[in-house]
Structure 1
Amino acid sequence: MTELAQEKKTRILVLNPNSSKAMTEGIKAVIDTIGLPHSTKIHTYTGPSDAPASINDDKDLDSSTDAVSKDIQSSHPELLSYDGIVVACFSVHPLVETLRSIPELRAVTLGIFEGSILAALSLLESHEKWGIVTTGKFWEKHLTDGAIDFLGGYPSTTNSKFAGVESTGLNASDFHHGVDPAVVKQKLKEATQRLLAKPGVKCIVMGCAGMAGLEEIIRLAACEVKGKKFAYSELLVMDGILAGIMQTELAIKYQRLLRPI
């Protein structure tokens, strides 16, 4: 006879820091594919109406941080009771540190950018590299500097595991409405192939929450330049939402072991 030894419920909030409900729906589609324990419950949040509809630059990052932090503390304080919060914007988002600074918040708080880096590094062999395909030109420097800083380097330095960032020239919102899907596909294909032209790339991180569900376009682009075996058996295509949630759940478990009170 078997008996249940332990089942502690875990509640994770996936926080979309812009006001696009369409993007949150795309995030939900990714969540549905994750095989988490039944005891782990995931909820979503969409930023208030005064948050930007799409985050495309530093101004949008600051605006969304201000709008969301005020909304949570004034209108949704119950969100501070979650075990984990995943900030679903692929950026060095200041909201992550802003939430961590709230005294009442004890949740593990992680951005999908940081979660993706941790996941990529854990899966690659010593000679293999990871890189990012993202939306607009602004993100090339922002994400490059952010990755180097997260890995312990300084701006303008390099990292032996990081192959860099290639952009499509689109905005996050373009992936779900407003732009011909054929244009989106072509630009994503070109960015992917530029990244794969660099030696050793075995992991491509989709550097935008709005790219959820577009893994197949990346694999088809890889197939054209590296062959079917590489594209479907060797290349890792990482969704930031999935990586962020999985890393957050793992961190929650560690926190319970290392800080039980």
Structure 2
Amino acid sequence: MTTVLVVNVNTTQAVTDVIAAAARSGVSATTRIVALTPRFGPASVESNYESHLSAVGVLDAVQGFDGEFDAVVHAGFGEVGREALQDVLTVPVVDITEAAAHTACLLGRSFGVVTSLDRTTPAIGDRLLLAGLAGRCAGIRSVDLPVLDLEANPEVTVKAFVEQARRLVEEDGAEVVCLGCAGMAGVHEAVAAALDVPVVDGVAAAARLAESLVGLGLSTSKARSYAPPRAKDVRGWPLRGGEAG
């Protein structure tokens, strides 16, 4: 059985539960999803500061996991930290931002992203640019709802996402819509029903891609960019497992 760790970037268990359900919806019955919540970090990630804090909590959660696993999903849309996991792990690591965008590129010429807060759109744009996918992105729109409020009023959340997704398609020319936040995975069905375009849930896509990489016997190249960190003294290192290298 393949085991995929799906790591929430924030410390809110309710968000982890939503992420876990989305990941399980995307994989086969023979794949086990284990969802992790960091033991420290921000309750939600909505700024550069919080994104960098969360990256350390995610590393700690993965390195402190007591058991074997075959792949990791980094469940933060537009957040940093995926590269650090690739440095220290030998199993495949898939980020939900890139997974959503890569999947969307297989389904249409252009895609758009609907996310939570407007202030997070530059970070998403940066991640897409770094991944070489920005040229296929027709636009990034927000619903102006904090991550932790997405589940508070489902009717309002769904309506807001459908409205912004429709604008991406009708005004920006997107042919595929990506949901740009792990905490809103449950909105997928409503947006797909309202619009006649494919809708990609980054968590489900990332889990399936991670499962596929394991099945293909492939993992991160260690030739250069993601080679293991050189052994050195790292003072005050807070992560479980001791030394950074």
- Report the TM range for the smaller structure's normalisation: 0.7 to 0.9
Residue 85 (1) aligns with residue 72 (2): yes
Offset at residue 252 of structure 1 (A): 2.0
The separation in 2 between residues aligned to 1:117 and 1:21, in whole angstroms, is 26
The separation in 1 between residues aligned to 2:218 and 2:191, in whole angstroms, is 37
Counterpart residue number, 1:17: 9
Offset at residue 14 of structure 1 (A): 0.7
Question: Does structure 2 conserve the Cα–Cα contact (< 8 Å) formed by 1:10 and 1:83?
Answer: yes
**Secondary structure of 1:201 counterpart:** coil
Counterpart residue number, 1:6: none
Offset at residue 185 of structure 1 (A): 3.0
The separation in 2 between residues aligned to 1:77 and 1:71, in whole angstroms, is 6
Residue 195 (1) aligns with residue 187 (2): no
Question: Does structure 1 conserve the Cα–Cα contact (< 8 Å) formed by 2:117 and 2:142?
Answer: yes
Counterpart residue number, 2:114: 133
Counterpart residue number, 1:114: 98
Counterpart residue number, 1:174: 149
Question: Does structure 1 conserve the Cα–Cα contact (< 8 Å) formed by 2:92 and 2:220?
Answer: no
The separation in 1 between residues aligned to 2:160 and 2:104, in whole angstroms, is 24
Q: Where in structure 2 are there 5+ consecutive unaligned residues?
A: 222-245
Question: Number of paired residues?
Answer: 221
Alignment-mate amino acid for residue 133 of structure 1: V
Instruction: Return 25-34 or 134-143, whichever deviates more.
Output: 25-34
The separation in 2 between residues aligned to 1:146 and 1:35, in whole angstroms, is 25
* Match runs of 1:212-223 below 5 Å: 212-219=185-192, 221-222=194-195
The separation in 2 between residues aligned to 1:258 and 1:162, in whole angstroms, is 25
Q: 1:54-111 deviations in whole A, cap 9, x for unaligned?
A: 11111111111122323444xx2535x42100011111x3221111222xx2110111
Q: CA 1:59 to 1:199, structure 2 compared with 1: closer, same or farther past 3 Å? A: closer
The separation in 2 between residues aligned to 1:250 and 1:186, in whole angstroms, is 34
Q: 1:122-155 deviations in whole A, cap 9, x for unaligned?
A: 222xxx3111010101122221232122116xxx
Q: 1:175-206 deviations in whole A, cap 9, x for unaligned?
A: 123xx334323322331122112354221000
Among 242, 247, 251, the residue aligned to 2:209: 247
Q: CA 1:12 to 1:70, structure 2 compared with 1: closer, same or farther past 3 Å? A: closer
Counterpart residue number, 1:237: 199
Report sequence identity in percent.
26
Question: Does structure 2 conserve the Cα–Cα contact (< 8 Å) formed by 1:119 and 1:247?
Answer: no
Structure of higher RCO (CA pairs closer than 8 Å, 6+ residues apart): 2
When the two chains are superposed, the root-mean-square deviation of aligned CA atoms in Å is 2.3
Q: CA 1:145 to 1:258, structure 2 compared with 1: closer, same or farther past 3 Å? A: closer
Q: CA 1:101 to 1:199, structure 2 compared with 1: closer, same or farther past 3 Å? A: closer
Counterpart residue number, 2:38: 47
Offset at residue 220 of structure 1 (A): 5.1
Alignment-mate amino acid for residue 208 of structure 2: M
**Secondary structure of 2:49 counterpart:** helix
Larger Rg: 1
What's the TM-score, normalizing by structure 2?
A: 0.81
The separation in 1 between residues aligned to 2:157 and 2:218, in whole angstroms, is 43
Q: 1:4-47 deviations in whole A, cap 9, x for unaligned?
A: xxxxx321111112111101111222234235152x22211111
What's the TM-score, normalizing by structure 1?
A: 0.76
The separation in 2 between residues aligned to 1:71 and 1:94, in whole angstroms, is 15
Alignment-mate amino acid for residue 2 of structure 2: T
Q: Where in structure 1 are there 5+ consecutive unaligned residues?
A: 1-8, 153-157, 223-230
Q: CA 1:199 to 1:55, structure 2 compared with 1: closer, same or farther past 3 Å? A: closer
Alignment-mate amino acid for residue 244 of structure 1: A
Counterpart residue number, 2:53: 63
